[in-house]
Amino acid sequence: MQESIEMKINPHETIFALDIGTNSVVGIVGKKEGEDFVIIDFEVMEHPTRAMYDGQIQDIDKVAIVAKTVKERLEKRVGYSLKEVAIAAAGRALKTCSVSVNREMDSTKEIDQSTIKSLEIEAIQKAQEMLDSELDQNHVRYYCVGYTVINYYLNENIMISLKGHKGNTIKVNVLATFLPYEVVDSLYTVMNKIGLEVIHLTLEPIAAIHVAIPPKFRLLNLALVDIGAGTSDIALTKDGVIISYAMAPVAGDEITEAIVKEFLLDFDTAEKLKIELNSKEHHEFEDIVGISYTMSTEDIIKRITYAIENLAQEIAERILKYNDKAPSAVFCIGGGSQIPMLTECLAKKLEIKPERVVVRGTEIIDNIKNEFKEIQGPEFITPIGIASISIKERENNLVEILLNGEKVKLLKTKKLVVSDALIRTGFKANKLISKRGKTLEIIINGHKKVVSGKLGKPAMIYVNGRESSLDVEIHNGDIIKVQKATDGMNATLRLSECIQSFGNAELIKECYVNGSIKPMDYLLNNGDEMDFVEIDFNKAVTSKEEEVSFEEKNMEVFVNEEKINLSAKVDGPIFVDIFDHIDFDRTRAKGQLIMTLNGNSTNFTEKLKQGDKIEIYWA
């Protein structure tokens, strides 16, 4: 760490990355200089207490204090405020999903970057839907923290890049990675507490492999194992691509805890002793009851060999599970990788030569300028990877909005609109459209008559206090309020109102309802049968336009080329009425909802007429 920064720094050219680890927080400020990533400054601070377990934040306030201290120390030395940050999540409870998406193209047009990006995002969304459907019963919400393109295809041929090419079809294979929302949310909460806006989020093994195993080495079947304090994150490569990510929920803390138990030490003393095993031959320490020890590293290792072997076994099992066999070589990084005998044990468990399991430091990273000797060890590969990968993707890939008081995070894959936020939260489409109140059907002198219910009030949508609609664009920090639609009142009709509606009530001598005489304030019920005695019915119904609808005809429309019969109400049926007659699930989005009326885009409240042709489908 430097006391001051001599080079002239443009804040807009730099990136600030934080690696929130189980034992410590590492902050790095760097910038891109040609093809090189230049480390301007760094800061490391250990957690004074165990505020994290297995890579997961347990005490948000305590972690925030450490992260804030790292941030402020760097700000003091670089000379400007750090307002944006790149972070990564550990692979705890990691889920992966491999998907393929293809698309037909106009073969006369060049493929641009926006088309490629939208294809990748479509694959991510498909992976999200697949994962949501698999895990729906557990009610655990997962968030996409990163993805890796395995292969591009042009006309079914593998391509390194699609940009600038022309073809009939394009395709992408994507390996998407997901973590539970609570893991991601806790990281964001800490960042919010210390005044930092997250501009890039990735997964720790993605960040590590980005710098530790560049594409030129990925033809080989390699395993990268980032052994931290709480978790061991794994990435596997073969045939030029990353084939899988995995995680073992064990790491350096298991060795520390073994030392605690073997020598009756507190955790901090045991952690210090574990770290010194890699650099000292003899050690002096005192247990919690005051007994002093002077021991060699070899003797200590003998006492905790079982824990080292168990850690190696767990890591080996994960590698074999996701790789189907032992890899050609294993690169170990992270602070936990320096535990004596660990690489030898891991090689033995994988049944490969010991020299093919190695600990690698920052010297393996290409195109990096790092003049700080203090951050050249294996524990600094991941934080450098977080900074390096994020500087390539400066655009925010996450939008956080407030929807009816609930925080909602959306992956910024395209222009986001209100409907995207509603879909993300599972807001039911039927809450947006009001329903007309129930109709009242009665029988008058043997003829069925219909009284329509009242129209309801449609949903009201507000974005930052302004009345808006479903297709209004939304941005980070927007406040959205949706007042759900209210249904109209059911149709009601009293006997006196029914008689008056004919305009010639004096012609009616007697009126029977269901065979008996009722008072004039009688409220008619659905299915009531009325009989008027000595009434010229034809004259009555034609002498005045009725206030009550007695329409009996049906209307025919065509939905996806299938004939549907709709009741022709007074005001006519509207588009949303067709969902009462077709089998179509609107509760789970399966793409973009396409609705057309006679070939033109339409909305839920568009009125229908005889013979209309309707199309509705997910695109």
String of DSSP letters for 298-318? HHHHHHHHHHHHHHHHHHHHH
pLDDT number for residue 347: 96
- Residue-range domain boundaries for the chain: 95-176+215-359, 411-552, 553-619
* Summary mean pLDDT of the chain: 82
Residue 356 corresponds to which tokens in the numbers above? 């093919």
- With a pLDDT cut of 90, the percent of the chain lying above it is 25
Between 37 and 317, where is the model more confident? 317
**Residue by residue, what is the 3-state secondary structure of 540-601?**
HHHHCCCCCCCCCCEEEEEECCEEEEEECCCCCCEHHHHHHCCCCCCCCCCCCEEEEECCEE
- Mean pLDDT calculated for residue range 62-86: 93
- 154-171 pLDDT, tens per residue? 998 988 888 889 888 999
pLDDT above 60 for 477: yes
pLDDT number for residue 391: 77
Contact 486, 456 (CB under 8 A): yes
pTM above 0.85, yes or no: no
CATH superfamily membership of 553-619 = Beta-grasp domain (3.10.20.30)
Which string of b and e fits 187-226 if b means at least 16 CB within 10 Å? bbebbeebebebbbbbbbbbbbbbbbbeeeebeebbbbbb
pLDDT above 50 for 547: no
- 171-226 pLDDT, tens per residue? 999 888 787 777 788 888 999 999 998 888 888 888 888 888 877 788 889 999 99
Helix (H) or strand (E) segment spanning residue 122: helix 113-135
Between 257 and 51, where is the model more confident? 257
Q: Given CA atoms 364, 368, 369, 372 in this order, what sign does their dihedral have?
A: negative
- 104-157 pLDDT, tens per residue? 887 788 888 767 877 887 788 788 888 877 765 556 677 776 777 888 999 989
- Choose which CATH entry (3.30.2450.30, 3.30.70.80, 3.30.420.40, 3.40.1000.10) describes domain 95-176+215-359: 3.30.420.40
Burial environment of residue 133 by CB neighbours within 10 A (0 to 12, 13 to 18, 19 or more): exposed
512, β-bridge pairs: 517, 531
